[in-house]
Every structure is written in C-alpha cells, then in structure tokens.
Structure 1
C-alpha cells in the first residue's frame, strides 16, 4: 500500500451527515428502544422511506405491507431493523457517480451482503456485522470512479483486456478499492474488525491475525460472481473449494440449497434503494 497516496485521499472521503451518524450511534446501542429509533428516524423522511422500502422487499416482505417504522420493528425485530438502518444510511451517504448503474451496483453489493450473512450464521460469528461488511465492501469502487474518473476508465480498460484489477489500481493510484473502502469505514467509526475485513477481502490469508470477515467476504464475492456458472450437482463441492481458498470453515450442509433460495434477493434490495 502506498500510504502517502492513501492518506492524501482522507480529506476527500464523503462524511456521514450528522443526523445519520447520530442515528447509527443509537441503533448500535444494545439498549436502543423502538420508540427512540422511530423518533430519530422521523426527522429524516428520506431515510425512513428507504428503511420501509427494504422492509417491504422480497427478503423481508409478507402479505401485509409495512407502513410505519413501528410496524417494521414488530415484523422484523430490532436486530433486523438495525441492519436495515445501517444499509439505508450507507446508501444515502455515498454520492451518485456518473457512468455507474447504481441499481446494479447496490444490487450486487446486497447479494454479497446476504451471502456473507448466511456464512456468518454457519460459522458462529455475528450475522449483522457480516451483512454490514457486505454492504460496505465495494464502496471503494465508487470512491475511485468519483474521485479518479480518468484512472478508473484506464483501469476498466486494462481489466477488460485481462489485467488484474487490484494490481492496476495499485499501479495507477497507489492503493486499491479495498484499502480506500476500509479507510472510509474507519472514518465512519465502524468496528476495527469490520475495517480489517474490508481491507483484506481480496487476500484474507494475508491478514494477521486472520479475519473471518475477510474470508467470508472473499467467499461471498466468488459465490455471487460465479453462481450461475456452476451446475446444481457441483455446487456443494465447489463451495467447499472456495471456502478453503478463503481460509474459512463453513457448515456446508444444505448451504447450496439455501443460497439458491437467497439468490436474487439482494438485487431486489438494491433496486429498492438506488
């Protein structure tokens, strides 16, 4: 990592609006109540609308539509609402970027987040943190396109010709998307474990001490990118291979069937938010 190049970007990173930062502080408290969260959300109608759209998405929706934050808590529970608030806040805090279909971008991002959450459940780690890591994992890509559009175009062209994206980013910028994304997560005061997971998502075995989140992100990204290329009968053995490559041990029983059911739900969530 070129530390000088990375540190030079610090002042250009987007800041969380004060109201959203305060809301994240509230939902991350173990003693947060429905009343307090609902009251705080009521001051931000745009964020409230995003949370409700997510609550009514295919992943969480049922026969009766959720019409209020209180209803969302009753249906989803405080833990899930916390996840939706964080997801909605992150999407709202990142500026729109020319030349990127944000529906597709966030759809793919949420696909990774949902897979990562499922892996966390099977590894006995925190599903909420895994989901949050998933929605933050690709933010560095947006930051590079928005702040270095010419370099981003050159990187994309080189990747189209077969070059490695991470190597090209480091060669032309002095850092890669994962590094700048982890710096943003740190500035937004997410946990050190989450920051580390994002930083090492492309090379989890290089992280010392080992980051399970980095391994889960690496495996989740591979699942999302290649799922449709793998035959139904081959998926369990393939999942075993990529989990080993990511350096993590996952309970594989029924995982292929579960991921098949989850497939596409992240795209729906991304479209709801973009």
Structure 2
C-alpha cells in the first residue's frame, strides 16, 4: 500500500469535522483576533474542556484556576492558547485503536512536540509549527494499525525482535508511517513545510532540503531517546556535538536546563487529555 493507495483509501483516514477544521484554520492564521479564536473554541464543548484542563495543568497553570476560554486567552497569551487548541483538536479527531495505550502514545507525541517546539524557537523557526509537526510525527503508526491491522501486528512483533520499523513497513505494507502522517497532514490542509517535515522526519539530509521541521523532529526524537544524566555543562556539550553533526545552528544558552524541564512533560499533558 503506497502513497497512491493511501490517497485512494482516504475515506479510512480520520476526517476533521468542519468546526474543528475551521478552528485549526483560525489557529494557523497569524492575524486572527484572539476574541474570535476564543469564540470558536467555546463552540466545541469537548475542545473547550480539554483546553481548560491543560491550561490548568502544572505546565500552563497560573496562581489560580482558569475557568473560561476567554480567561485562558487573556492569561495564557496567544502562543500557548494556539498550542493547546491544536493539541486538543488533533487528539479529539484521531482514534487510538485497541491494543494501543493512549497515555503512552500521546505522551510520546507531546514529549516530541515540546522538544521540537523549543528547538524550532531557538533555530528561529516557527515554534507552533515545530510543536504541531512533533505532535503528528507518529500518527502514521496509528493509521496503519487501523488500516492494516494484521500486517501491523506482524510489524510490531518483528520490531520487538529488533527489526527496522521503516524497512519492515515498506516491505509488508508498501509504505511507512512517516508517509502516512504526511498524507494525513496534507488532507487536513496543514502547511507544505509541515507536511514535508513529517515526510522526511527520519532523513535529516533530505529534510534539510525540503523542510527544516523534519530535521527538528528528527533531532527532538534523538535527544529524547538518548537524554544523558550529568551536569548541565556536560549536557550542553553533548547537545552542541549533536547539532554540529547534523548542521543545526541554534541558541545553546540555557537549552540543557530547558530540555531537562521538559522531560516527562508529555505524559503529564496526555493525562490531561483523558
């Protein structure tokens, strides 16, 4: 099942309800007035509830509880509200299949999203695009589990024994999770640079030519999977070596401490979505 067949089976991909699609359009509009965004969020009870739960979490919360979307917009500011709305809308639109732990899945997704957001910001890229690209990075795995459940079980069993996920998916299914994620993002009308970032998230060389966000997500995953213990100076040196190896220039000042504070943040946010 290659990209062409995924497109031919587009009816099996999650469809965004028009209200959520309009909401994401508003979120991605740099010129949107926050009063209008708050009004659109308030029209969806489920999204509103999730946004408020996350706004009151330890990561986003303030000295007293936020009780309304209007208040969340005022107290959190544009960037955090856009991130919360995007996270709520996407997680509400994608079904987690049986056998997949939603807390583990979304926990990993949010962890990569937070790391990608910080790296994008320091690389002078759009932090919200980095976040969304990170949030969607592994959604292709969910979709393959839904569209090809028997083959996906074979893939999981082989990967557990040490097989390469991408190569095995190409062999058994005819496509890979990153391509499926990119197809979904294009169907949902996300920006071309975000779509290409998802498509090339496992190939930093091609990502550099097609979308810097692919490299950002690649490095976010690499750093999370290999995050070292030790003093800040040693972690900063380790980060500098990685960025130098992959040709990414960004501000290193205070980065190690910031990333350390993000470790474990994904599960916290996933709990808020439940």
Which TM-score band (shorter chain)?
Answer: over 0.9
Q: Does the 8 Å CA contact 1:6/1:174 hold for their aligned counterparts?
A: no
Query: Which residue pairs with 1:231 in the alignment?
Result: 229
Secondary structure, counterpart of 1:209 in structure 2: helix
Assess, with a 3 A threshold, how the Cα gap between structure 1 residues 63 and 199 changes in structure 2: closer, same or farther: same
Assess, with a 3 A threshold, how the Cα gap between structure 1 residues 206 and 34 changes in structure 2: closer, same or farther: closer
Q: Bigger CA drift: 255-264 or 97-106? A: 255-264
Aligned residues: 272
Secondary structure, counterpart of 2:209 in structure 1: coil
- Report the RMSD for the aligned CA atoms in angstroms: 1.8
Distance, in Å, in 2 between the alignment partners of 1:235 and 1:210 is 29
Query: Which residue pairs with 1:56 in the alignment?
Result: 56
Deviation at 1:208, TM superposition (A): 6.4
Distance, in Å, in 2 between the alignment partners of 1:246 and 1:92 is 35
What TM-score do the two structures reach when normalised by structure 1? 0.93
Q: Say which structure, 1 or 2, has more relative contact order (CA 8 Å, 6+ apart).
A: 1
Distance, in Å, in 2 between the alignment partners of 1:208 and 1:79 is 25
Query: Which residue pairs with 2:181 in the alignment?
Result: 181
Distance, in Å, in 2 between the alignment partners of 1:117 and 1:139 is 18
Assess, with a 3 A threshold, how the Cα gap between structure 1 residues 245 and 174 changes in structure 2: closer, same or farther: farther
Assess, with a 3 A threshold, how the Cα gap between structure 1 residues 187 and 255 changes in structure 2: closer, same or farther: same
Structure 1, unaligned runs of 5 or more: none
Cα offsets for 1:80-138 (capped at 9, x unmatched):
21121111100000013100110111111111111111111211111111111111111
Structure 2, unaligned runs of 5 or more: none
Q: Does the 8 Å CA contact 1:216/1:246 hold for their aligned counterparts?
A: no
1:145 paired with 2:145, answer yes
Query: Which residue pairs with 1:168 in the alignment?
Result: 168
